[in-house]
Amino acid sequence: MTVCRVLLVDDHALVRAGIRALLEALPRVEVVGETGDGLAAVQLATELAPDVVLLDITLPGLNGLEVATRIVRLGSRTRVLMLSMHASPEYAARAFAAGAAGYLNKDSAFDELAAALEAIGAGRRYLCRAIDPAQEALFERHAANGGSGIDRLTARQRQILQLVAEGYSTREIAERLFLSVKTVETHRAQIMQRLEIHDVAGLVRFAIRHGLLPPEAT
């Protein structure tokens, strides 16, 4: 029987431990690695070539949507199952637009986790039961039409937006991303212009609404 090799990505160690215990209780599932860091997730996906990356949508530094996009761009057979605390068609739309093969709410029961892994392992897409299937066409149109404001930003701008919202200074962001301070300032100005937001508090609210930060960040 084929074993589904899973890479587990969540920035909360206790959550990871709980999910890992659930996964290890499933037949034909092997956890081949785990991390709480987005950049490390991309690296591990490259090195381990898992069948499925079970990926939290909200991660520090590099969020789950960006991680999913980078993993898909690797061109491997690895598929992404996005984990989120939001049972929202809009969040699901962004996950699928980023290349995820499935979207699972963190309040889902154990049997749904098993069903999602089975579906994705078989090459099908999975949408969590908490989202009304009747809304699937709606969020597919949402994704096809460019989604919400965050889709106006480049990948680099989304990364900078997340770091700004997390409280990093311009200099800290520049050092973290190996950019000049002036380049970060230019990106930041463009972000505010494209989103029509004029202060950091507004950027934080926007980041939370779009899954770049957890709600407790406020």
Hey, do 4-144 and 149-217 end up sharing a CATH topology, with the first three levels equal? no
Statement: residue 1 has pLDDT above 50: no
CATH of domain 149-217: 1.10.10.10
Phi, psi of 204 (to 5 degrees): -65, -45
What is the three-class DSSP state of 78?
coil
Domain 4-144 of CATH type 2.40.50.140: no
Write the pLDDT tens digit of every residue in 186-195.
Answer: 999 999 888 8
Statement: residue 5 has pLDDT above 60: yes
Tell me which residue of 210, 204, 24 sits closest to 110, measured CA to CA. 24
Write the pLDDT tens digit of every residue in 22-37.
Answer: 999 998 999 999 999 9
State the pTM of this model. Answer: 0.69
Q: Would you give the end-to-end CA distance of the chain in angstroms?
A: 47
SS3 content of the chain, % helix, strand, coil (to 5): 55, 15, 35
C-alpha 168/C-alpha 194 separation (Å) is 21
Residue 88 confidence (pLDDT): 77
CB 170 within 8 A of CB 188: yes
Listed by start position, the domains of the chain span 4-144, 149-217
